[in-house]
Homo-oligomer: A and B are copies of this chain.
Amino acid sequence: MPELRQNYFTKEWVIIATERAKRPEDLVMHRPAKVVLPFVESCPFCAGNENKTPPEVMRVPTNGGGPWQVRVVANKFAALSPDVQPTRSIHRSRRSMGGFGVHDVIIDTPDHAQTIATMSDAHIANLLRVYKSRYDALSLDPRIAHVTIFKNHGGDAGASLEHPHSQLIATPVISHQVRERFQQALNHYDEYGECMFCQFLEEEIQEPERVVLLTEHFVALEQYASPSPFSTPIYPRRHMASFGDISATEIADLARVLRTVLAKLYQGLGNPDFNFTIRSAPAEYVGVKHFHWYISIIPRLTRVAGFELGSGMFINTVLPEAAAEFLRKVKVEMAVGAG
């Protein structure tokens, strides 16, 4: 029988459509194997082609030989510009603001053939430290209201370049969607005196049928009202509103958790296209007791269609409990290549 479930945080309803249910196995990608080389002559992000990118913002050098580990450059096709004033304008129903902002490309690795699922934990920790470094630096700019860090992997996830890379967009406004989620979390805090995420994590760890991976500092799980199959958020277990508050110990643990979850998706579902994004408190809310940052990982296995666009509700054809069980069973090696 089909079921409606309501997202605890956003209050949005999701249809768990068991009548059109798919077993988790039904969503495995069956793509022809493709040989990807570690160096592609025409790729602007490959080692040796550094002159093909816009100016470098920062890099993580190698300890010994090799070119570099991670590079950050300005996005050649930036959505926003640091050279525009964020001036507001209101004319009747038309509200606009100068397109001020920062748009970084973070080149995850010099190796074209890698993906986070196949990198070493040490390398991923370096990548996360770069995320944090740019996040911290931009959060200090009073013109910047919100920093979004994200990754598009594969064409269905909106990636236009194959070389593994992440992006950061810093905006002079906070989106209405983020404001609204904050308001829900604040309402909960005002009513119950605790962070709704902390309370939720405690419950989910006690009854772990939706938990995919639990470590000392993080938990990865399928949400009870997950809007799409295998969407797998990773939450820090300690209360923190902002990604910038993550400690060095937590970064090392997160590197392992992120790699393990992405490797489970990679191996279990056949390298699906996916997005991930860090949902963190906007700069002006650093330190609040009612919000809790997390990483949202969204495999792009299904398409948003007219019902979702019209109603705002999603239809999920895989039971979240079945997805969690499937991912728990995918065996991932605990130590992998040198990346």
Interface residues of A (CB under 8 A from B): 1-6, 8, 10-13, 15-20, 77-81, 84, 86, 92-99, 101, 146, 148-152, 155-159, 167, 169, 171-173, 175-178, 180, 196, 199-200, 203-204, 224-225, 275-279, 296, 298, 303-307, 309-313, 315
Q: How far is the CA of A20 from the CA of B75 in the complex (A)?
A: 11
Question: In the bound complex, how far is the Cα of B15 from the Cα of A285, in angstroms?
Answer: 23
Task: Decide yes or no: A311 and B1 within 8 Å by CB, A15-B80, A17-B79, A306-B167 being known contacts.
Answer: no
Number of copies: 2
| Complex alpha-carbon distance, A129 and B19, angstroms | 29
Nearest CB in chain B: distance from A171 CB, A: 7
Which residues on B sit within 8 Å (CB–CB) of A93?
Answer: 8, 196, 199-200, 203-204, 224
Most buried by B among A6, A158, A173, A311: A311
Known A98-B4, A311-B146: A158·B79 in contact at CB below 8 Å = no
> Nearest chain-B residue to A13 (Cβ)?
B173
In the complex the two chains form, is A312's CB within 8 Å of B176's CB? yes
List, in ascending order, chain B residues with CB within 8 A of A178's CB: 311-312
- Nearest B-chain residue to A315, judged by Cβ: B79
Contact A3 B96 (CB under 8 A): yes
Taking the closest CB of chain B, its distance from the CB of A275, in whole angstroms, is 4
Query: In whole Å, how far is A150's beta carbon from the nearest beta carbon of chain B?
Result: 3
Are A4 and B309 in contact (CB-based, < 8 A)? no
* B276:A306 contact, CB within 8 angstroms: yes
Partner of A175, one of B175, B180, B306, B312: B312
Instruction: Other than A2-B80, A150-B309, give 13 A-B pairs with Cβ distance below 8 A.
Output: A2-B78, A2-B81, A2-B99, A5-B96, A6-B173, A17-B79, A148-B307, A148-B310, A157-B305, A169-B311, A171-B313, A175-B313, A298-B309
